[in-house]
Amino acid sequence: MTHQPTRRFFSLSAILALSGVLVATVATNARAVTIPTVPVGNLGNAADPLTGNLYGSVSYDYRIGTTEVTNAQYAEFLNFKAASDPLALYNTNMGSSARGGITRSGVSGSFTYSTKTNMGDKPVNFVSWYDAIRFANWLHNGQGAGDTETGAYTILGGTATPSNGLSITRNAGATWFLTSEDEWYKSAYHQPSAQGGDSDDYWLYPTASNSAPTVATANSVGDISNPGANVANYLSGADWNSQNGNVTTVGSAGPLSDSFYGTADQGGNVWEWNEALISGSFRGLRGGSWFGSANELRSSFRGYNLPTLENSYNVGFRVATVPEPSTLLLGALGMIGLLWWSKRRK
């Protein structure tokens, strides 16, 4: 650097300083949990006209979790926020049920959490709607010691069931959040006809198909053993009283079974909570599960349950995000600075 003119050196130093801010920001907000996401574009798309559903119209770009939240991701959340667990973020069925994936050790005040063998990459289950939005708040607040009661959602009362539970809506400026029903629906079923989709821009199933998916089979570690096009983890014609179904490794049906936008398992595996408030007392569920029929995977099927529901082995959730304005600004400034310095060197 000593052979460069002083003026140019100071310009580069300023850029490096900006880069230092970026690095420091990342270091300060070190993430224990990484949520892979895919972009959902085609903003301003029309709603699905099928049978008057009118779901799926979203006027903005966003990113959605490529998979359902996994046991490994949720266990990290518990290790940060549930040492004593006054909010009942852990359900003991996670440990005792063969279909749960997280064990708890120790005593209240020093609880620790671990994933079961071969269950880390399975979707978390036995979670209430309130657990899901508290996880989203934690992501919004930078993870670690980040708060679970404020951020994307304002949760009042300090108890597992909030005092304002049925009036909770997403706050402006949320950067991580539980999907709205339209966000979930679009990422699952939408594909413009101009980009190879169905004539009305929506598929019936979230595997980019109008035909019911092939029923998944699983190997000894719970990976789908028949990956390929249009495969999903659900029951078809099985006896529900004697079936031996289970959750499977997220994404293991393979990319040919993904939605147009690249999401996995929006059909089957576990039902997924969304933000919809239905009939004043229930919260929305979409996508069906391993313990359900092909009909429940269809775009026309709208599920729901009480937001306190936590003891279900086939209910989980998926999160979505929009970039933080500060991150966008710093990234843009950094790019402008680097382009300017590159031009000065020529």
Report pLDDT digits (tens) over 327-343. 444 444 444 443 444 44
Distance CA 324, CA 211 (A): 39
Distance CA 120, CA 73 (A): 8
Asked whether residue 246 carries a pLDDT value surpassing 50, the answer given is: yes
14-24 residue pLDDT tens: 333 333 333 33
Chain mean position to CA 3: 51
pLDDT at 7 (0 to 100): 32
Asked whether residue 239 carries a pLDDT value surpassing 60, the answer given is: no
pLDDT at 50 (0 to 100): 87
161-190 residue pLDDT tens: 999 999 999 999 999 999 999 999 999 999
Handedness of CA 118, 121, 125, 126 (dihedral sign): positive
3-class SS letters over the chain: CCCCCHHHHHHHHHHHHHHHHHHHHHHHCCCCCCCCEEEECCCCCCCCCHHHCCCCCCCCCEEEECCCCEHHHHHHHHHHHCCCCCCCCCCCHHHHCCCCCEEEECCCCCCEEEECCCCCCCECCCCCHHHHHHHHHHHHCCCCCCCCCCCCCCCCCCCCCCCCHHHCCCCCCCCEEECCHHHHHHHHHECCHHHCCCCCCECCECCCECCCCEECCECCCCCECCCCCCEEECCCCCCCCCCCCCCCCCCCCCHHHCCCCCCCCCCECCEEEEEEEECCCEEEEECCCCCCCHHHHCCCCCEEECCCCCCCCCEEECEEECCCHHHHHHHHHHHHHHHHHHHHHC
71-106 residue pLDDT tens: 999 999 999 999 999 999 999 999 999 999 999 999
115-155 residue pLDDT tens: 999 999 999 999 999 999 999 999 999 999 999 999 999 99
Region 219-228 average pLDDT: 96
pLDDT at 57 (0 to 100): 96
What's this model's pTM, rounded to 2 decimal places?
Answer: 0.86
Region 252-265 average pLDDT: 98
Q: Identify which has the larger pLDDT, 336 or 275.
A: 275
State the pairing for strand pair 62-65/102-105: unpaired
Name all contacts of 35-38 with Cβ < 8 Å and 24+ positions apart.
Answer: 35/65, 35/69, 35/73, 35/139, 35/176, 35/319, 35/321, 36/65, 36/66, 36/67, 37/63, 37/64, 37/65, 37/66, 37/320, 37/321, 38/63, 38/64, 38/66, 38/187, 38/261, 38/262, 38/263
> How many residues make up the chain in this entry?
346
Q: Identify which has the larger pLDDT, 48 or 323.
A: 48
pLDDT at 323 (0 to 100): 75
> What Å distances lie between residue 173 and 129, 150, 170, CA to CA?
21, 12, 9
Amino acid at 307: P
Here the tokens at position 92 are 């003991």
pLDDT at 16 (0 to 100): 32
| Averaged confidence pLDDT in the chain | 87
